[in-house]
Homo-oligomer: A and B are copies of this chain.
Amino acid sequence: MTIGWIGAGRMGYEMAGRLARGGADVLVWNRTRAKAEPLAKLGATIADILPELAARDIVFCMVSTWDDVQQVMRAMLDRAKKVPRLVIECSSISLEGSTELRKMLAARGIEYLAAPVSGNAKVIKAGRLSFVCSGPKRAFDAALPYLKMIAPAASWVGEGELARIVKICHNVFLGVVTQSLAEVTVLAEKAGVPRHAFLDFMNQSVMGSTFTRYKTPAFVNLDFKVTFTPKLLRKDLDLGLDAGRRFEVPLPLASMTRDLVQTMIGNGMTEKDFSELLVLQARASGLQLKPENVEVEDGLA
């Protein structure tokens, strides 16, 4: 099978790279061609224009927004003689966008997997990404060998756009976990336990996750370089609460976390990483945080 890959941003680059290294026949397109070029060394071919990808069997898409998804899909498919059998869309788009894309592709006889991921660029590099997929089971089975080149874990959760709901649930959980970790980290610190010692234990305990480990450097050394902004987390919490309203599911911890993220934004903490929730929590506790300047692992090395 031949693969097309759209998008060589921070995450897309790493994902396509893993496919290429895995031996897949990958043709990559990126808006800024230069960014994709280093992938050639790993065995990928670089496309000049999007319509070249239309002749591929499977096309992956990993761009930024729903607007980008629409644009690249149209640019690839309009006037195409041959179309892919399957499109696998990995960007973080809404349920509504995903539904619309499914219709657009179905009209051209193309199967479609919604396939958002859990993890960031470092997680991909560390070989720890996971996919959550929905759409035709047969399409998932066909795609699985390629998904596995990119990520050790790929789950199929059902038909249609269910994977989008699951991704939202994942991000709601991520928000709550971060706030809870901020609460207990500040409590432990005020009781006399350095953050690095506390998190070292938590990470090794049954509660430790890839996530708690890779957030540890931020919590210990107060390096809040953006991975995900407070406003993006608020958006996902709002999508979760909106789903809660639609399906009549009360979400008390998600609601509370959403209000705390809003509080963070109201207090002007908008430009750094959402894990600045730790700082909000410390202020609420009368604690002036200081970087501990301890080298800690992020578990992704």
Contacts and interface: CB of A to CB of B under 8 A. Distances in A.
Interface of A: 118-119, 123, 128, 130, 132, 152-153, 155-158, 160, 162, 165-166, 169-170, 172-174, 176-177, 179-181, 183-188, 190-194, 197-198, 200-202, 204-212, 214, 238, 240, 243-245, 247-260, 262-263, 265-268, 281, 283-287
A157 B197 contact: yes
Given A187-B244, A192-B162, A207 B211 contact: yes
A247 B205 contact: no
A196 to B, nearest CB: 10
A209 B180 CA distance: 15
Contacts of A243: 187, 191
Nearest to A244: B187
B266 A284 contact: yes
Contacts of A130: 201, 204-206
B205 A191 contact: no
Given A169-B188, A176-B176, A206-B210, A197 B238 contact: no
A208 B299 CA distance: 14
A183 B132 contact: no
